[in-house]
Structure 1
Amino acid sequence: MPATSPTPAPDRLAERLADRDVLRTLASEPLVGLAAGRALLMQLAHPGVARGVAEHSDFAERPLARLFGTLDFLLITTFGTPEQVARIAAKVRGIHTAVRGEGYSGNDPGLQMWVNATLIDSALYVHETLMRPGDTDPEEYYRQARVVAEVLGCPLEEQPPDLAAFRAYMDETLASLEVTGAAREVARAVLWPRKLRALFPALMVFRLVTAALLPERLREEYGLPWTPGRRRAARLLLRGAAAGHRVTPRFLRRPPQPLLVRLAGHRVDRTLSARRVRRRAAPS
């Protein structure tokens, strides 16, 4: 297991965050959000991530907390000021310090790199299959997106140096993974949450899109239904989303970034406060 490395020093962090234009361009596209479930299930396919979530989170009570927590961190790291990024990085690393068990640690740079790799790979997959490929330079996007893992403690020298090496890393890692029972348990809680039945229509779409975008082998190992009818429905849905993206002016597609950062920060603070309350209430 690689040794944990500290978050970059403030001056180094500010220097790294000064170069986020391509990262922000793609991250601000709502269409990329369609791959959120794909990224989450790819993360859980790593047994270390699956065990950490299963053993250290209340996913049964708050099934989407892991997903929104990752997205909030990504939002702030992408659009926030260096001070905001340093603040959330310190908070997340503090949480990760308590996430440890047999064969895994929340501050393991290898796991941090894998989590960020699934986000990068999912964004590029949507970009290449549903958007205009010429809108964003994938090589530059990858180079800038590495900062997300870096601020959590995975140094650049431990990450693939370029897009070709990243693709090779993804292929090699995916080939070595096998969806475990813990991963399937967490995935069921996220895709079929008992406490969110009122959101049934939205969750049905979420499940369909997630299954459609997942690599075929992982979809099968998770046991996600994939009939000819579901395949046709997913194709129509994704084509419609792509068509809507093409005809909608860019300024209408992108919500105000400062507002998103404030909302994400508020959710993070609320989550941490609730976590402290649950910890104090837990029997010693």
Structure 2
Amino acid sequence: MPATPQMPAPERLADRLADRDVLRAIAAEPLIGLGAGRALLMQLAHPRVARGVAEHSDFADRPLARLFGTLDFLLIVTYGTPDEVARIAAKVRGIHTTVRGDGYTGNDPDLQMWVNATLIDSALHVYEHVMRPGDDEPDLAGEYYRQSRVVAEVLGCPLESQPADLAAFRAYMDETLAGLEVTDTAREVAAAVLWPRKLRPLAPAMAVFRLLTAALLPETLREQYGLPWTHNRRRVSDLLLRTATDLHHLTPGPLRRPPQPLLVKLASHRVNRTLSARRSRSRVHA
């Protein structure tokens, strides 16, 4: 891995972003959002990511801020113009420059790749096991992976440093997951996200979020996080996921996918607001 992040040249970035048809097609599916909690807990299972989040975010007061911030950035990279992507990436990289501590930095290409890998792996898990494309539909997994690498690339992890294809990516995930051990710090952050004190009015929705996050997580991580998992919880989660699959196949695409321009506009607004608030907090504590 390179010692410092490298931003793609403008012409290369434009070329890379011209090739997003499969990335956009899968990201547009609402069911992909079911993997958000899975991706976040996988990220936190990396000790350096967990330390960075714990030491440089207000997860106790804003437990879902990192989750939505990551998803908003992903939406902009997926649907935005090259200029929009370059602007938001520069802002995020600027914030990441201030994130550093014992053994980690926010612009570490290794960590950028891991964070993006959890998003890719979770999206593919939902695509293959919940959306369940039919035998007569093309297998988009390999092309989705290839196009998704741009998310880490715009934050400083060059393509040459990322797994070259889907098979290499699967091997990278297996090897990385085998070497991870969930720390107390990760469990603390995960608890704040899964059982947020300030979101009690959303208790029913959060209960479903916890259940599906546990159901979709790799078993080893579910056990390390100590998430409750019983026969009844498995049965309920299976029922919910089967229902989601059926609704996905019964609902015509134009009715289930929100308009792309609206997604970009909302995501850009939230990201800019979040980054401005973070800069303000940094000035106060400087």
Normalising by the smaller structure, the TM-score range is over 0.9
1:133-176 per-position Cα deviation (integer Å, ceiling 9, x unaligned): 33551111111010000010100000000000000000000000
Amino acid at match of 1:270: R
Partner of 1:15: 15
Pairwise CA RMSD of aligned residues? 1.0
Partner of 1:34: 34
* SS of equivalent residue, structure 1 residue 174: helix
2:272 aligned with 1:269: yes
Partner of 2:200: 197
Partner of 1:45: 45
Amino acid at match of 1:66: R
Q: Which runs of 5+ in 2 are unaligned?
A: none
1:180-204 per-position Cα deviation (integer Å, ceiling 9, x unaligned): 0110000000000000011001100
Shift of 1:218: 0.2
Amino acid at match of 2:237: A
Counterparts of 1:57-136 in structure 2, within 5 Å, are: 57-133=57-133, 134=137, 136=139
- Provide the C-alpha distance between the structure 1 equivalents of 2:101 and 2:220, rounded to a whole number of angstroms: 28
Shift of 1:280: 3.0
Counterparts of 1:154-169 in structure 2, within 5 Å, are: 154-169=157-172
Identity of aligned residues (%): 77
Whether contact under 8 Å (2:132, 2:245) holds in the other structure is no
* SS of equivalent residue, structure 1 residue 186: helix
Partner of 2:140: 137
- Provide the C-alpha distance between the structure 2 equivalents of 1:8 and 1:2, rounded to a whole number of angstroms: 14
2:168 aligned with 1:186: no
Larger displacement relative to structure 2 (152-161 or 5-14):
5-14
> TM-score scaled by structure 2?
0.97
- Provide the C-alpha distance between the structure 2 equivalents of 1:273 and 1:150, rounded to a whole number of angstroms: 23
Q: Which runs of 5+ in 1 are unaligned?
A: none
Counterparts of 1:202-221 in structure 2, within 5 Å, are: 202-221=205-224
Counterparts of 1:245-284 in structure 2, within 5 Å, are: 245-282=248-285, 284=286
Shift of 1:277: 2.4
* SS of equivalent residue, structure 2 residue 19: coil
1:104-161 per-position Cα deviation (integer Å, ceiling 9, x unaligned): 1110111000000001101111111112333551111111010000010100000000
Larger displacement relative to structure 2 (132-141 or 85-94):
132-141
Shift of 1:215: 0.3
* SS of equivalent residue, structure 1 residue 39: helix
Whether contact under 8 Å (2:8, 2:154) holds in the other structure is yes
> TM-score scaled by structure 1?
0.98
- Provide the C-alpha distance between the structure 2 equivalents of 1:161 and 1:74, rounded to a whole number of angstroms: 21
- Provide the C-alpha distance between the structure 2 equivalents of 1:20 and 1:153, rounded to a whole number of angstroms: 19
Shift of 1:46: 0.4
2:175 aligned with 1:172: yes
